[in-house]
Structure 1
Amino acid sequence: MRGVPVPLRLCAALVFVGSCGWGGPDDGDSGRLPAAPLGVTAAAGSATSVHVMWNAVPSASIDCYEVYRGTTKVREVPGSQHMVDVTRLKPGTPYVFTVRARDMEGRLGPPGREVRATTPVAVAADHEAPTRPGTLEGRAVGSRAVQLSWSASKDDRDVVSYDIHQGGTKIHSVGGDQTAAVVTGLRAGTRYTFTVQARDAADNVSPASGTVRITTPGSDDGGDTAPTDFRATARHADDGAYYLDLSWVPPHTDGVVTEYQVRLDGAAATSLVFGGEPPRGRATYSFYLGREAGVDHRVRIRARLPDGTWGGLSVERKVTTGAPARP
């Protein structure tokens, strides 16, 4: 989606939102400790907070992640979450963080690599958020773009940016001196819901503007947005468990696709989120199915598009644990 940044920087590999890991079988499922989280990063968010992110361990059995400041556990988040703000820190202070995964059976894996961040020196306090942006208006500009405009927010210092959200996803941002934006890379015949929030230099965020709903003209059955050449195979691993190996070609969009949803037997099984450089060619992913042979499964996959909507579903594949792979 041209001009629309990917709303999440997530993993350097693949995230399991149910997972941010990417690739093979999970050690936790085979009786061993969960692996150490990869791709851990830390960045100061303010004079008293640091934002910590990591790639999820590739497993359906991760219960939570423990975040440590030095040797002290400071946060614990669900296995579906792969970022956290560590708050109540001291200004102008260096910190060291690590992250560990814990599985459903309570087994705690080793820490990922240590990451360091230094909070900036405190400046004159600014706790006042900008005012709510004024009346938000919008119109479709063809079948793949909308034009939005709003009245400026006020702040005791300066508004530095406006964040544009589609539904619950931040899809664009413009400078604080702008009160209009064109959002591109949308889908024809799709209903969108937009809001705008103002942000100041101290990262104070205004209340959301009113909502504007816009339906782009034309029609889109989702077929052009579905992953293609989707393949699924049930694999019997050396540990005696069965794993589902998936591969697909990402859909062609105006932006980078970073998130997918896997649907198993008609229900959402997990979401996968890429960060760094998501694959442009064939992507692969594996996850644990169980230990019982002769179990039938149906699986499909779909992508969350850069406009914040879900694309079309891939073709459905059927697999049976313990059965020969279908050609």
Structure 2
Amino acid sequence: MRGRSALPATTVFLLAATALGPAACAGADTDPPPAPAGLTAQAGSAGSVHVMWDPAAERDGVTGYQVLQGGKPVRDLPGDKHMTDVTGLAPQTHYAFTVRARDAAGNLSPAAVTAEVTTPPVRADDRRAPTAPARAAGSPAGPRSVRLSWSEATDDTGVTAYDVYQGGVRIHTAAATETGTRLTGLRPDTVYTFTVRARDGADNSSPDGPPVEITTAPADGEGPPTVPGDFTATASPGAVELGWIPPDTGHEVREYELHVDGRPTTVIQFAPGAVPGGRAAHRLTVAEPAGTVWHLKIRARLPDGTWGSFSAERRVELAR
């Protein structure tokens, strides 16, 4: 895509960076990381279980996870993942899952406390999805967590789980008996948009419930908020119009990084002396087919050269 703006702005495309491996250690590392905490296992259907645990602390140096079913490894995941779906299971069957963390030296942690679950029975020829949760609400629970709640959904064969999505990606699964949860591992001073879907035993998912925007609290010592305010994205034929209120950092904010579907795509730059004093605007010219769905968010480059917190995320469907 190409960027155009009524204001003097240019668009700079980002190049993929090569990841650097860990530096060589002076001596062999033989200390394993601690066992993962907060392990849960939730049956999402008659043949699948969603396994989830708390992210490791950065100081633990975790680079990967090993998921075990009945004591046998069934999944290997990178260190930035803390959930997975185990599929191909039998209905009405009891399963036990645990997880071990792995560090860069290959040391494996002790196993997490085992999570046990029983899959529900098969519902033959069930093709009807549950209704979407009609209501949802949320509130911050500190700099790195939020509380989210929703109303019960209905289904002709019964709801088996609720899935929480953020940016079109499932980040949490709750039991059918739950109508609320606490989400952790978030960034301070950041706007998050969550939706909830109900799921039945045949893996039919409902439409999204109403979106809930929650801003996490700033962390101590971080200074004023850095979130671009009132971010909007509106599709028109061949273009997407962006608008936002620059954060008040005490200096001109000339650069913004645009993320599409969770990936950095462009840097929007305003020329010196042309930085908007009020609401900023930018026009993206797009070549993707009509009906393509994007999830967009932006963040500002701060006076110290670092990136600030993300704006609210907006879903937009490209126009015909």
Give the TM-score taking structure 1 as reference length: 0.39
